[in-house]
Structure 1
Amino acid sequence: MKTILLATMLSAFLLATSIYDFKVPGLEGNEIDFSAYKGKKIMIVNTASKCGFTPQYEELQQLYSKYKDKLVIIGFPANNFGGQEPGSNGEIKEFCKRNYGVTFPMAEKVSVKGDDIHPVFKYLTAEAKKLGIEDPIKWNFTKFLVDEKGKLVAVFPSKVKPMSEDILKYLN
């Protein structure tokens, strides 16, 4: 079964020529279709509920609320670093709503590194490499910013807060 899943994920990556080719299951039981966000900036963030950077959910929500006419944020819970996202999809959904009032789209829990890396992050990692950024995902809350045409324009490490000038300069 795992082999079939990996083969399916690999074929999705190989067929993807743009961020807009991806569709992922959301925490709400919905499908997140990246093509629905053409014309907007997209910030893709690998998240975790038990991380020192978890309070960034608050600023991610502020950023989304302030700029949602031109920016969508998509959170991807991942348990790749220090076991800091141990919860189920249901537990993650409840945690985000209860503690941070998250209203931006959240995908189901994925892997963002390693042999089972999700196709979205395999794609983003390859795009980051084109920008000269090797191994961009060092920890939770790495932020990938895609412009209105679907081109990766920046990668921000965990320590860069969502409401920092480093990010806001792309939105103002």
Structure 2
Amino acid sequence: MWRFTLLVVALLSTWVIPAQADECPALLQGEVQKLRSEERIDLCAQFAGKPLVVVNTASFCGFTPQFKGLEVLYQRYKAQGLQVFGVPSDDFRQESDNSEETAKVCYVNYGVTFPMSETQRVTGSEALPLFKELAAQSQAPRWNFSKYVIDAKGKVIASFPSSTTPDDPAFLAAVEQAIASQR
């Protein structure tokens, strides 16, 4: 009888291990307010297990037209599981303090359909935990439109400076590597 009990315990313990492997990575723990919405984005529920590009954005930056390229990227790869997440920030003093204006730039001017948060801190001790973890795995944003490519396990594959456009070959190669990580 005790051998049967040990066998059952051993089998049950193997069922528990996969559940632990699916835990939310540190990078995605937390919630943020969705831009111009009452909804909150649970980062783990929305992005865990998926390849992800995170970008800190600003409405009045010389790099703001990159929204168009980011939307093209999202449309091109979303059927393959890619998620894009935009995080407006005024850390570099180029974001409106009015979320309606920020939303207009994103949704109306550039046709963004990927998730966007309300304005957040992305640098320093008050940074959003997501960006603290991005900085720990790579580096903190040095300017608006810094891009982070994250694999399906929640690890930063690569980070790119503001000047890297969404159609840059090295950036696209990192995105494709992230997409391959979910297989």
> 1:60: which partner in 2?
70
> 2:98: which partner in 1?
88
Identical columns (%): 40
Q: Which amino acid aligns with 2:102?
A: I
Bigger Rg over Cα:
2
How has the CA–CA distance of structure 1 residues 73 and 109 changed in structure 2, closer, same or farther, with 3 Å as cutoff? same
User: Is 1:24 matched up with 2:51?
Assistant: no
Higher share of residues assigned helix? 2
Is residue 136–residue 155 contact of structure 1 (8 Å, CA) maintained in 2? no
Is residue 145–residue 153 contact of structure 1 (8 Å, CA) maintained in 2? yes
Structure-2-length-normalised TM-score: 0.76
Q: Which amino acid aligns with 1:158?
A: S
> 1:73: which partner in 2?
84
User: Is 1:107 matched up with 2:106?
Assistant: no
Q: Which amino acid aligns with 1:94?
A: K
Q: 1:166 aligns with which of 153, 156, 170?
A: 170
Q: Once superposed, what is the RMSD of the aligned Cα atoms?
A: 1.6
Is residue 55–residue 87 contact of structure 2 (8 Å, CA) maintained in 1? yes
Q: 2:156 aligns with which of 142, 145, 152?
A: 152
Shift, 1:119, TM fit: 1.5
Q: Which amino acid aligns with 1:165?
A: P
Unaligned runs of 5+ in 2: 1-23, 177-183
User: Is 1:44 matched up with 2:46?
Assistant: no
Q: Is the partner of 2:115 in helix, strand or coil?
A: coil
Is residue 20–residue 38 contact of structure 1 (8 Å, CA) maintained in 2? yes
Structure-1-length-normalised TM-score: 0.81
Shift, 1:38, TM fit: 2.5
**Cα shift readout 1:63-112 (whole Å, capped 9, x = no counterpart):** 0111112211110101111x210232222112211110000000110111
Shift, 1:121, TM fit: 0.9
> 2:15: which partner in 1?
none
> 1:138: which partner in 2?
142
Q: Which runs of 4+ in 1 moved over 4 A?
A: none
How many residue pairs are counted as aligned between the two chains?
Answer: 150
Q: Which amino acid aligns with 2:74?
A: Y
Q: Is the partner of 1:117 in helix, strand or coil?
A: coil
Q: Which amino acid aligns with 1:139?
A: W
